[in-house]
């Protein structure tokens, strides 16, 4: 498939996925299409802002809705395809402002780098951001402010 047709296919799939995800009250995080025209895998990552996230039932609803929409358009995907609908997972890095918004209310771990490239890990409840500062709350309910420029990595805390 040439690059132009592939880009058009991805655009069509993103529109269908965004509609199916929004109808379920969720958000589309990422969409990836891999493989050849004989056997493709369409992976769709979804999330719900806040501490709850998504569960298996959410993935099932989106999969059924999106699968029906794709199958209704006979010309969209040639050949067979495998549809995978999942949460982004706790290992997915928190990079963008949308990631920060979606993960607000969840426990995260942030690795920072400061002067002299010293690294340290900070754990806490993500409260959001203010301008260019990440706001966390520690176990004692103290607010921690971390300048975004000092954040090396941030992801959900799997050890809470």
97-156: CATH number: 2.30.30.520
C-alpha span between 148 and 134 (Å, rounded): 6
Element (H, E) at 66: helix 56-72
pLDDT band at 160 (very low <50, low <70, confident <90, very high): low
Higher-pLDDT residue of 6, 135? 135
14-33: pLDDT as tens digits: 999 999 999 999 999 999 99
**Which CATH number applies to 3-86?**
3.30.300.70
The half-sphere exposure of 144 on its side-chain side, counting CA atoms within 13 A, is 19
Per-domain residue ranges for the chain? 3-86, 97-156
- Summarised one tens digit per residue, pLDDT across range 91-145 is 899 999 999 999 999 999 999 987 666 778 999 999 999 999 999 999 999 999 9
């Amino acid at each position: 498939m040439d690059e132009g047709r592939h880009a058009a296919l991805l655009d069509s799939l993103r529109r269908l996925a965004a509609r199916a995800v929004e109808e379920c009250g969720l958000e589309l995080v990422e969409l990836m299409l891999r493989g050849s025209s004989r056997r493709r895998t369409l992976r769709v990552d979804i999330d719900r802002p806040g501490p709850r996230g998504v569960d298996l039932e959410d993935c099932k609803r989106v999969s059924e809705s999106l699968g029906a929409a794709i199958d209704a358009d006979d010309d969209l995907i040639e050949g067979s395809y495998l549809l995978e609908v999942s949460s982004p997972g706790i290992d997915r890095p928190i990079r963008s402002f949308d990631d920060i918004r979606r993960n607000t209310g969840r426990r995260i771990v942030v690795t920072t780098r400061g002067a002299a490239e010293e690294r340290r890990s900070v754990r806490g409840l993500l409260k959001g951001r203010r301008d260019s500062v990440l706001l966390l709350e520690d176990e004692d309910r103290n607010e921690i402010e971390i300048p975004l420029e000092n954040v090396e990595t941030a992801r959900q805390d799997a050890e809470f």
